Amino acid sequence: MNAYLARCLGFDADTFLKFDVDYTSVTRVFASSHGHRSVLSVNERSHLRGRPDLAIGL
């Protein structure tokens, strides 16, 4: 996921670990019909609300 986000955002390969993507989080990327990618969200965890046993850090 880190490498894909870095590519979408134009980061070089040496800095792709800038993202701390949480386990079970949702990351959304919009893909246009022309091939352009836009990062819409990183680390969405709203699906874990109401589950304190799973939602560390919320």
Instruction: Look up residue 45 and give its two tokens.
Output: 């965890």
| Confidence (pLDDT) at 40 | 93
Q: Judging by DSSP bridges, how do beta strands 26-31 and 37-44 pair with one another?
A: antiparallel
pLDDT tens track for 17-39: 777 787 788 999 999 999 999 99
Cβ proximity of 55 and 48 under 8 Å: yes
Q: What span, in angstroms and rounded, lies between the C-alpha atoms of 45 and 58?
A: 8
pTM: 0.68
Q: What span, in angstroms and rounded, lies between the C-alpha atoms of 19 and 7?
A: 12
Q: What span, in angstroms and rounded, lies between the C-alpha atoms of 43 and 6?
A: 15
Q: Where are the domains of the chain?
A: 2-48
Q: What span, in angstroms and rounded, lies between the C-alpha atoms of 49 and 12?
A: 34
